Amino acid sequence: QHFLKRIQALDPQLNSFITVTEEAALAAAQAADTRIAAGDAPALCGIPVAHKDIFCTEGVRTSCGSKMLDNFAPPYNAKVIDGFNAAGSVMLGKTNMDEFAMGSSNESSFYGPTKNPWDTNCVPGGSSGGSAAAVAALLAPGATATDTGGSIRQPASLCGITGIKPTYGRVSRWGMIAFASSLDQGGAMARTAEDAALLLNVMAGPDGRDSTCLDKPAEDFTRNLHESLRGLRIGIPKEYFSEGLDPQTEACVRAALAEYEKLGATLVEISLPHTHLAVPAYYVIAPSEASANLSRFDGVRYGHRCENPADLRDLYMRSRGEGFGEEVQRRILVGTYALSAGYYDAYYNKAQQVRRLIKNDFVEAYKNVDVIMGPTATSPAFALGAKSKDPVAMYLEDIYTISANLAGLPGMSLPCGMVDGKPVGLQIIGNYLDEARMLNIAHQFQ
């Protein structure tokens, strides 16, 4: 009731929810009460959580921020949703997002932009901007999110909360609407690393229905939270402190790094020499995969269908033309082009080769350091409309986050200071499967 009241009072300004499942939430909370009274409370019994509208929820609209799926109520739950249900958590509703998770500002949502709770003239980041804003405004204690190129970390940074994108394959993609399947990864947003760890505990684990889901048993991500950081070697990539980084943001990040030194860590300057190729490689690979994944939305089986199609071709063209927004159409065009005969080798294959170079940079770096740190975003939250007409400016928002997706590495963002009343995030990129250590590192700072 507490959170539903806050949503009612504050969300008309923030627009962080697409759907609020009030009745079901109250019923689930009652059921949780009964279980607690009976002494049979699972891990998140009665804990309210908001879910990004990319995770399929049985019988509850799952729009992915798109007109295409405005009428779609899935017949099944995502693996992640089943995990939360089994843990007794209470779903408050489904959060706003950039259409099909394509964006860094939440402005491409069919349901209108989400506003940043710290300054409602600013964006919350994206694509998981609804989840980030909801957690930051205390409309929910935690939320699910997804990160294909930065969509957990960048909004966490701009909204002053903690977000973790685990190693690729940690969290099943079953029932998580696909954008770029080799990059997409579900994760958690919360106020603290400790809370994020508790959420991740019920999200991670093997799943035979997602062939890229890792065959690693579920683990307790809270297990290292209290360990000392003495002796920790933190790699500071010089490429992450280049021109384009707002000087005040840099000062916050450097101050946080100095705190880590006080906690017993050593800072080691490193180089990730292919960093400048991450954004170009991503914007070939992600649209290519998106163009293939989004071909399923054809107006035939589910989703938006145009009125009175003249024939099958007209049905496809108008349903897709009406159902997809501008950014999604741009990505489908770019991706279809990059995959087409004659261009595949020049663009897609080349991008995959670059991807391997980027991954190898990290493999080399981790021979000398335990973890990598830098800024999450180049600046604090920017004004609504500031970048929405300039796709390339928007793409550059993810300059520090995309490499971790290309390499499949876990990444997180935690609040590390304020500039002009707006939060700044510190990014931690961990080695493969090192989430528990990263959460420990974040927890010691918090």
Out of 148, 167, 388, 413, the only residue in the binding site for ligand GLN (CB under 6 A) is 148
Report the alpha-carbon distance of residue 73 to residue 89 in Å, rounded: 21
Q: Which DSSP state fits 69?
A: G
Q: Which DSSP state fits 420?
A: T
Measured from the CB atom, is 318 or 387 closer to ligand GLN?
A: 387
Out of 74, 103, 129, 323, the only residue in the binding site for ligand GLN (CB under 6 A) is 103
Measured from the CB atom, is 37 or 392 closer to ligand GLN?
A: 392
Using the rule CB under 6 A, give the single segment among 144-152, 359-367, 406-414, 416-424 that binds ligand GLN. 144-152
Report the alpha-carbon distance of residue 286 to residue 184 in Å, rounded: 9
Measured from the CB atom, is 29 or 394 closer to ligand GLN?
A: 394
Measured from the CB atom, is 179 or 324 closer to ligand GLN?
A: 179
DSSP-derived secondary structure for 278-307: HHHHHHHHHHHHHHHHGGG-SSSSSS---S
The sign of the CA dihedral 329, 123, 159, 26 is negative
Min CB(70)–ligand GLN separation in Å: 20
Report the alpha-carbon distance of residue 119 to residue 122 in Å, rounded: 6
Residue with tokens 């600046």: 379
Min CB(341)–ligand GLN separation in Å: 25
DSSP-derived secondary structure for 316-379: HHHHHHHHS-HHHHHHHHHHHHHHSTTTIIIIIIHHHHHHHHHHHHHHHHTTT-SEEEEESSSS
Min CB(218)–ligand GLN separation in Å: 24
Measured from the CB atom, is 7 or 377 closer to ligand GLN?
A: 377
Residues in contact with ligand GLN, shown as a per-residue x/- string from 278 to 297 under the rule CB under 6 A: --------x-----------
Active site residues: 52, 127, 151
First to last CA, the chain: 29
Nearest to 243 by CA among 271, 279, 276, 268: 276
Amino acid, res. 400: Y
Out of 62, 109, 114, 151, the only residue in the binding site for ligand GLN (CB under 6 A) is 151
Out of 11, 147, 250, 435, the only residue in the binding site for ligand GLN (CB under 6 A) is 147
Q: Does 406 contact ligand GLN by CB under 6 A?
A: no
Measured from the CB atom, is 85 or 108 closer to ligand GLN?
A: 108
Min CB(54)–ligand GLN separation in Å: 9
Q: Does 186 contact ligand GLN by CB under 6 A?
A: no
Q: Does 113 contact ligand GLN by CB under 6 A?
A: no
The sign of the CA dihedral 398, 403, 408, 410 is negative
Q: What residue ranges bind ligand GLN (CB under 6 A)?
A: 101-104, 127, 147-151, 179, 286, 398
